């Protein structure tokens, strides 16, 4: 048996550090798409694959934003990037669609509204 008191035992041991909290403070969790967001994006993706417009996709979860990139061919630059940036949620909206040239085609607070940029507009053709 030892003659050490509880106070002296606490002094000899280093403090316990919660690794989860430590890692989050040093390297915050990346931004991700939630299930409902992915469902909406994959519904549009499936429709465009069916039309032969798109063939491949990639998902990136970065520190400041989540990106869903769509490709015509896997070795090329993405045709479009669907981005979620929570820092812009209060201002212009967290969601945006960006083309290959980096131009923002549509931005907003509601993902389903932003994804309407991929809806095709039907044109009335007069037959003369």
Structure tokens at 115: 């994804």
Q: Mind giving me the DSSP string for 72-85?
A: SSTTS--SEEEEE-
**Torsion over CA: 64, 70, 73, 74 (sign):** positive
Q: What is the pLDDT of residues 63-104, one digit of tens each?
A: 899 999 999 987 789 999 999 999 988 888 999 999 999 999
* Mean local confidence (pLDDT), 19-38: 79
Q: What is the pLDDT of residue 26?
A: 65
Neighbour-count burial for 81-114, b at 16+ CB within 10 Å, e otherwise: bbbbbeebeeeebbbbbbeeeeeeebbbeebeeb
54-59 long-range contacts, Cβ below 8 Å, gap at least 24? 54/79, 59/33
Q: What is the pLDDT of residues 100-128, one digit of tens each?
A: 999 999 999 999 999 999 997 656 666 66
User: Is pLDDT at 24 greater than 70 in this prediction?
Assistant: no
SS3 for 63? coil
Q: What are phi and psi of 58, to 5 degrees?
A: -145, 145
């Amino acid at each position: 048996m030892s003659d050490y008191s509880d106070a002296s035992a606490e002094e000899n041991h280093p403090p316990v550090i919660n690794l989860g909290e430590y890692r989050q403070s040093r390297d915050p969790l990346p931004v991700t798409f939630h299930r409902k967001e992915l469902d909406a994006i994959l519904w549009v993706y499936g429709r465009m694959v069916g039309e032969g417009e798109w063939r491949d996709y990639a998902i990136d979860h970065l520190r400041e934003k989540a990106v869903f990139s769509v490709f015509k061919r896997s070795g090329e630059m993405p045709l479009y990037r669907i981005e979620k940036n929570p820092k812009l949620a209060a201002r212009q909206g967290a969601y945006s669609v960006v083309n290959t040239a980096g131009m923002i085609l549509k931005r907003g607070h509601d993902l389903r509204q932003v994804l309407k940029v991929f809806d095709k507009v039907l044109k009335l053709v007069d037959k003369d």
